[in-house]
Structure 1
């Protein structure tokens, strides 16, 4: 009697573990893209147009603890319904998550706190992160459907190219 009970418990535990691992394996692996590539995540398209390291940012309420990673970003809603663009975060090499800065005022190009996008609308603006200089992954998300969140990453290298020179400027 004890043996059959033990076998039953072990079988049930094995079935539970197997079902949990099969559920997690159904979730697709998030892909990583390069700066400049258009990245589709659900109905949203993200594109990092420019990345720079800055010493400070216009409109910050507090001086930065580190450097400011300034990302110029295009976001397009390709869906038929209004979409919410969530706050973005960076993932460092150790897997730590850093949320974008949210305490900015008077910065007209900042994407802002509330990001609701109408269908077929494209927004162009900046997001900022107070982080040490280093390589990161920008996590981009479409969480329109809570049970079907879609994620991708955009690689942000530690060494960023300088912004392009304007035509007619010295060195061009």
Structure 2
């Protein structure tokens, strides 16, 4: 964009991509980059696991079980190792609450509509094949949202395809 444009560009990953969309509906911004943010129920991987528990059971044992599983799967998966480390400082009650909210926002499949209606330019960066689900990629196409799939990549596409990710985002943000 123009060097004189002082409005911020919002870049959000996962739930942060959802938040970037919600903020961009209310605040004048230069651009939105949604990085593998939730668009449909199939994208709610960790949230769905948390939501399978009652709040009380999640606090008592569910979060610990998810953390342990994430640790084990992260032994040979760098992004999951980082995610496990991040969960160590998370509140189980808040995690569960936000998981329910994210599912509630994702299930009606309206987040993609909201993304498409933004007045600022939008780029959605998807990890393919293991980031957002196939249904969400179809929704992006259906609503004519500009998106790029980087492969092979998962939910943490910026770690799996660092150079391609940086190049795609920088090119998008430099465009007039």
With the shorter chain as reference, the TM-score category is under 0.3
TM-score (norm. length: structure 2)? 0.24
Task: Compare the two structures and name the one with the higher helix fraction.
Answer: 2
Between Structure 1 and Structure 2, whose CA radius of gyration is higher?
1
TM-score (norm. length: structure 1)? 0.24
Task: Compare the two structures and name the one with the higher strand fraction.
Answer: 1
